[in-house]
Amino acid sequence: MPGSIKIDDGSGNYTILTNAGSLGSDKTITIPNETATLATTNGITGADTYRMTSDLTSTTTPITNWERPDGTLQSTAFIGSGMSVSSGLFTFPATGIWRVDATAYAEIDSSGGIVEFSIKATDDNFSSEAIVQIARFAANDNFEDGIAGGSTLLDIEDTANDKVKFELGTSGTVKLRGDSSINRTHITFTRLGDT
């Protein structure tokens, strides 16, 4: 027998033996005679994705052209009640430690330029804000396109005030690519655990 459980030692304590044998030689876990609730885990309880629906060519704050993907196998591909967005400001559906992943798909023409795709966070409903992640793509003189991205962890303690938004900073002739049928520039939110 790989293990056994000693039931009630007479004082209301319960002992789990990790190896068969005598109590003196085994490693034990003792559950004291107290009332308690065992914690359960449900894994990831929140996840959602949004994408930009059309191209942007100049500095924009906040970016407002977001939609939840609605293509094949995508329209119901979120966990929990999902993020909400209004005028480019994203509200979290629950407190917790959230990972925010940002992917920017940029094009720069032959004259060169820079694209910066930033995550800004607030803990006071945007009375103040701070850049917490920036993805940067640059080219000097030849037409180029590419992807830049990054992620950050956020401790969301107050869903009314702890929010994020995304902004585009540009120089030169550039495009931050969006599309209403495929994820180009997009963001993903994942709740990893309790705060």
For residues 101 and 74, membership in a common domain is answered with yes
Rg of the chain (C-alpha set): 25
Task: Mark whether 61 and 116 lie in a shared domain.
Answer: yes
- Let me know whether 51 and 101 are in one domain: yes
Do residues 187 and 123 lie in contact, with contact meaning Cβ atoms separated by under 8 Å? Answer: no
Question: Is the confidence at residue 3, as pLDDT, over 50?
Answer: yes
CA-closest candidate to residue 14, choices 39, 23, 147: 23
Average pLDDT over residues 62-89: 96
pLDDT digits (tens, 9 = 90+) for 147-194: 999 999 999 999 999 999 999 999 988 999 999 999 999 999 999 999
Answer yes or no: do 172 and 83 share one domain. Answer: yes
Are 158 and 126 within one domain?
Answer: yes
Please report the pLDDT score of residue 110 as a whole number: 77
Q: How many domains does the chain have?
A: 2
Do 80 and 148 share a domain, yes or no?
yes
Strand partners, 66: 52
Residues 15 and 100 in one domain: no
Give residue for tokens 């034990």: 28
Do 146 and 61 have their domain in common? yes
Q: What is the mean pLDDT of the chain?
A: 88
The contacts of residue 84 (CB under 8 Å, 6+ apart) are 90, 91, 93
What domain range is 19 assigned to?
A: 1-38
Let me know whether 75 and 8 are in one domain.
Answer: no
Question: Are 164 and 143 in a shared domain?
Answer: yes
Asked whether 80 and 46 are in contact (CB, 8 A), the reply is yes
Give yes or no: residues 69 and 109 share one domain: yes
Return the CATH number at 91.
2.60.120.40
pLDDT tens-digit readout, 122-145? 999 999 999 999 999 888 877 788
Specify whether 158 is located in the same domain as 176: yes
